[in-house]
Amino acid sequence: MQIFVEYPYLLGSLILLLIAILLFVFLPRHRELLAYAFLFSIPSGLLSYLFVPAYWNPRFTFHYLSSPEDLMFSASTGTIACAIAFVSFGAQRTMRLDVRKALRRIAATLIAMLLTLEILLHSIFDATDVMRVVLATMALVGVYVLSRHRELLRLSVISATGFLLFYGVWLGSLKLTIWPHLLEAWNPAAQLPFLILGLPAFELAWAFLFGAVWPVFFVWCCEPVSEPVKDTR
């Protein structure tokens, strides 16, 4: 369809959304947690205005602070990263979400990240440094949670590796098919001076850290149930 030729990021986000829906359908044991992961991942898409156009500026269907594409991207990638973690982690035990605790922790972390980014990007750093600051902030959150729950380190490594591979395949597939000029969407001044397998190094670094931190943070908001549960995957 012509609209996807004109807006390849829209199609890429819809593909991610479809994958998230399929995971929701085919992982019934984790369905409730994945639904929460989807909903709680949406607010991060509201940080889009920090990245556009300083970090990248693809063609959007609409953008004011955020866009439909960014919101779908955030919700879907958050769901997919958690699904990778749940499949490996949930084989031993299941979890239930403490919704109030999750909302408090996610809201507090998001607000703290936003304030940190706004202060640093308007004082010490330039707007084009946004991804560097985001990666550093994500790493600090991950270190904090893992320092309190070292038993989640294995989960972090598995989900980081799995999501990095998934994201690399997704991004590379877009470049090879519907988005041959994909690299032009990124601001060269905001990128590292090299590519990894033809893809922006910062994007792959983000995928690794996001996969390492977000599922661990989400599990931190859950209460583990110690008794074994029959795997119905």
Give the tens place of pLDDT for each residue, 173-183: 999 999 999 99
Query: Which of the 8 DSSP states describes residue 99?
Result: H
Whole-prediction pTM: 0.90
Number of domains in the chain: 1
30, 43, 113, 181, 215 from 107: Cα distances, Å: 23, 9, 10, 36, 16
User: In the predicted model, what is the mean pLDDT of residues 73-82?
Assistant: 97
Res 2 pLDDT > 80: no
- Tokens 């980081």 belong to 160
Q: Is the residue at 231 inside a domain? A: no
Question: What would the DSSP string read from start to end of 136-147?
Answer: HHHHHHHHHHHH
Q: How many CB atoms lie within 10 A of CB 212?
A: 26
pLDDT classification of 93: cutoffs 50, 70, 90: low
Q: What is the pLDDT of residue 222?
A: 75
Q: Is the residue at 137 inside a domain? A: yes
Q: Is the residue at 230 inside a domain? A: no
**Residues of the domain holding 116:** 2-225
Q: Is the residue at 233 inside a domain? A: no
Q: Is the residue at 191 inside a domain? A: yes
Q: Is the residue at 52 inside a domain? A: yes
Convert the pLDDT of each residue in 34-73 to its tens digit: 999 999 999 999 999 999 999 999 999 999 989 999 999 9
Of 54-63, 76-85, 130-139, 221-230, the range with the lowest mean pLDDT is 221-230
- Tokens 């399929």 belong to 22
Res 161 pLDDT > 70: yes
For the chain, what is the largest distance between any 2 Cα atoms, rounded to a whole number of angstroms? 53
Q: State percent of the chain over pLDDT 90.
A: 66
pLDDT classification of 233: cutoffs 50, 70, 90: low
Backbone angles phi, psi at 206, to 5 degrees: -60, -45
Q: Is the residue at 232 inside a domain? A: no
Q: Is the residue at 218 inside a domain? A: yes
